[in-house]
Amino acid sequence: EAGVTQFPSHSVIEKGQTVTLRCDPISGHDNLYWYRRVMGKEIKFLLHFVKESKQDESGMPNNRFLAERTGGTYSTLKVQPAELEDSGVYFCASSQGFSGGRNEQFFGPGTRLTVL
């Protein structure tokens, strides 16, 4: 069974440009999460989809970030326009439906974003 995949693995863009990151969760996983790790800091939650619906987007930094999950399958995270502080590694994770709160998340390899 394929794991969580993310594309691209690396992206280098200039300040003001737009970047779109993609995450393909494990097939059948309703829950999809985005996290980010800025250099030297901890991994931080961005948002959570249940199927195509945003369950929790409390971690999204600002309105330059837009996440979608059309059809409840893959998800995209767009940053427009990118700023220097957006640099970091963006992780995607997926999990099956809740079962009394027992929810193991499987992580993708991450996308390393560098904004120059």
Partner 1 sequence: AQSVSQHNHHVILSEAASLELGCNYSYGGTVNLFWYVQYPGQHLQLLLKYFSGDPLVKGIKGFEAEFIKSKFSFNLRKPSVQWSDTAEYFCAVSPKAAGNKLTFGGGTRVLVKP
Q: Which residues bind partner 1 (CB under 8 A)?
A: 3-4, 31, 33, 35, 41-45, 48, 55-56, 59, 91, 93, 95, 98, 100-110
Place of tokens 């992206």: 11
Distance CA 1, CA 42 (A): 29
Q: Which is nearer to partner 1, 35 or 86 (CB)?
A: 35
- Residue 22: which of 4, 37, 2, 40 has the closest Cα? 4
Query: Are the C-beta atoms of residues 67 and 34 closer than 8 Å to each other?
Result: yes
Q: Which is nearer to partner 1, 12 or 43 (CB)?
A: 43
Cβ 104 to partner 1 shortest distance, Å: 6
Q: Which is nearer to partner 1, 79 or 93 (CB)?
A: 93
